[in-house]
């Protein structure tokens, strides 16, 4: 079939746009990430004198970096519509966020849709595959205190699994409270849908569990560790004690579990390459939230496993309904499902990008000055 002139122009425009976007992304990383690192190096005395203020500033810088990643998709027309419970209501409380995992774009989608949720982004901790440590954003996550989990956690090797879970527990105890984290985000499936679907279905068949097509059965080890480590002794995170003043000063502990379901039109997920290059037409990603009080989540391993399985079975139903109708079903008690279009301020995004490039230029001049002084 012959290619028309109009089609050739369209392809040429798409390629040129992708090339320009890639160049901008590279420049963005080259100025923003080193600036983040250098700012924090300069603020090390503050870390010694006032650790809380240091991590507050780090959190603000971290949120700005995630806003820059969000801008790559936002300006390409990749937007988000939210359904279900309004998570802004619990944005100041501690929560564990459970997300289904289809592609690398899931992380970018979360970075975008959580930008307008108060202090969540700057006070959140991510659990991600250890390979992410070696990407351009790895140094940022390492400084921020995210946990890099090896796939051994999801393998049959018991010793490696136990070792990783011990490391996770130690990491939470060392960094979660000391850096004033509020939300912890994880993908319990342990991998992308396309990679895990077949093995998950085989496992389900052997164990008389439902056949899932749009999600996979979750791994439970990391979730169990988080529940044991972060949930306070009494229900819903209220710590015990006779002194009321001391109670108010203590962290309340994990209070909510936010079940988050990401759905893409026609079940075609966005990957990181698409997010960066923008060659896919504008797309609306749909994100559904359900909030569960942690007091309603069982603590015993077997009961927690069953509870998690039920949530992902419900995710399967949610996604099936979405792919059939283009919308999520209404919450219990609602006659009609209500959606909320998530928006970002272009002016704010431009301001963040401008600050990044100005910071990069400033640090370049400073480092060049010291280089000439020394050499």
Which pLDDT tens digit goes with each residue over 265-281? 999 999 999 999 999 99
Closest C-alpha among 275, 238, 273, 271 to residue 253? 238
pLDDT digits (tens, 9 = 90+) for 5-64: 788 888 888 899 999 999 999 999 999 999 999 999 999 999 999 999 999 999 999 999
Quote the DSSP letter at residue 235.
Answer: G
Strand 283-293 vs strand 256-263: parallel, antiparallel, or unpaired?
Answer: antiparallel
Residues forming beta bridges with residue 184, ordered by sequence position? 96, 125
pLDDT score of 237? 44
Q: What percent of the chain has pLDDT over 90?
A: 71
pLDDT of 243 over the 60 cut: no
Q: In a 10 Å sphere around its CB, with 0-12 CB exposed, 13-18 middle and 19+ buried, how is residue 329 labelled?
A: middle
pLDDT score of 334? 81
- Choose the weakest-confidence range: 72-81, 107-116, 159-168, 350-359: 159-168
The SS3 assignment for 54 reads helix
**How many structural domains are present in the chain?**
1
Give the torsion through C-alpha atoms of 42, 43, 46, 48, to 10 deg.
-80
Decide which of 63 and 251 is more confident: 63
CA distances from 62 to 4, 40, 88, 245, 364 (A): 46, 11, 20, 32, 21
pLDDT score of 241? 46
DSSP string, 18-47: HHHHHHHHHHHHHHHHHHHHHHHHHTHHHH
215 in Cβ contact with 193 (< 8 Å): yes
Q: In a 10 Å sphere around its CB, with 0-12 CB exposed, 13-18 middle and 19+ buried, how is residue 83 labelled?
A: buried
pLDDT of 300 over the 50 cut: yes
pLDDT score of 250? 54
pLDDT score of 79? 95
User: What pTM value is reported for the model?
Assistant: 0.89
- Choose the weakest-confidence range: 164-168, 232-236, 243-247, 255-259: 243-247
pLDDT digits (tens, 9 = 90+) for 303-359: 999 999 999 999 999 999 999 999 999 988 788 888 999 999 999 999 999 999 999
pLDDT of 115 over the 90 cut: yes
- Choose the weakest-confidence range: 247-256, 259-268, 310-319: 247-256
Closest C-alpha among 106, 125, 114, 145 to residue 285? 106
Measured over the CA atoms of residue 176, residue 135, residue 155 and residue 164, the dihedral's sign is negative
270 in Cβ contact with 284 (< 8 Å): no
Rounded CA-CA distance 151/165 in Å is 11
Domain that holds residue 214: 5-374
Strand 183-186 vs strand 283-293: parallel, antiparallel, or unpaired?
Answer: unpaired
Decide which of 302 and 153 is more confident: 302
Residues forming beta bridges with residue 261, ordered by sequence position? 288
CA distances from 348 to 28, 35, 60, 107, 352 (A): 16, 19, 14, 21, 6
pLDDT of 136 over the 90 cut: no
pLDDT score of 239? 42
Closest C-alpha among 222, 255, 262 to residue 126? 222
Mean pLDDT of the chain: 89
Phi, psi dihedrals of residue 178, rounded to the nearest 5°: -65, -25
Mean predicted confidence (pLDDT) in 141-146: 94
CA end-to-end span of the chain: 63
Give the torsion through C-alpha atoms of 103, 140, 343, 318, to 10 deg.
30
- Choose the weakest-confidence range: 32-46, 208-222, 240-254: 240-254
Mean predicted confidence (pLDDT) in 96-113: 93
The encoded tokens of residue 123 equal: 């006070």
Closest C-alpha among 115, 112, 113, 142 to residue 126? 142
pLDDT digits (tens, 9 = 90+) for 146-179: 999 876 444 456 677 788 899 999 999 999 999 9
């Amino acid at each position: 079939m012959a290619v028309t002139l109009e089609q050739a122009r369209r392809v040429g425009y798409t390629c040129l746009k992708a090339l320009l976007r890639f160049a901008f992304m590279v420049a963005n990383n080259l100025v923003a990430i080193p600036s983040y690192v250098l700012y924090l190096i300069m603020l090390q005395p503050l870390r010694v004198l006032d650790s809380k203020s240091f991590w507050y500033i780090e959190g603000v810088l971290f949120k700005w970096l995630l806003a820059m990643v969000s801008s790559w998709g936002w300006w390409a027309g990749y937007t988000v519509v939210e359904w279900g419970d309004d998570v802004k209501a619990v944005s100041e409380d501690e929560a564990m966020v459970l997300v289904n995992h289809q592609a690398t774009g899931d992380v970018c989608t979360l970075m975008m849709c959580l930008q307008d949720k108060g202090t969540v982004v700057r006070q959140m901790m991510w659990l991600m595959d250890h390979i992410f440590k070696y990407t351009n954003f790895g140094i940022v996550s390492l400084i921020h205190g995210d946990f890099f989990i090896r796939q051994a956690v999801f393998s049959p090797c018991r010793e490696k699994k136990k070792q990783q879970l011990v490391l996770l527990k130690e990491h939470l105890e060392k960094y979660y409270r000391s850096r004033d984290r509020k939300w912890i985000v994880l993908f319990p499936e342990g991998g992308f849908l396309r990679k895990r679907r077949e093995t998950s279905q085989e496992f389900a068949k052997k164990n008389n569990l439902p056949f899932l097509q749009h999600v996979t059965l979750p791994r439970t080890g990391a979730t169990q560790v988080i529940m044991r480590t972060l949930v306070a002794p009494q229900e819903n995170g209220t710590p015990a004690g006779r002194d009321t003043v001391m109670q108010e000063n203590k962290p309340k502990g994990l209070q909510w579990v936010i079940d988050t379901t990401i759905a893409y039109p026609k079940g075609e997920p966005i990957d990181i390459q698409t997010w960066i290059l923008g060659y896919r037409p504008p797309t609306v990603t749909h994100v559904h939230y359900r909030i569960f009080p942690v007091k309603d989540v069982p603590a015993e391993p077997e009961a927690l496993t069953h509870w998690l399985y039920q949530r992902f079975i419900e995710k399967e139903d949610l996604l099936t309904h979405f792919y059939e109708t283009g919308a999520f079903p209404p919450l219990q008690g609602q006659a009609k499902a209500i959606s909320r279009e998530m928006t970002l301020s272009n002016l704010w995004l431009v301001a963040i990008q401008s600050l990044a490039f100005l910071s990069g230029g400033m640090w370049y001049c400073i480092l060049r000055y010291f280089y000439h002084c020394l050499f």
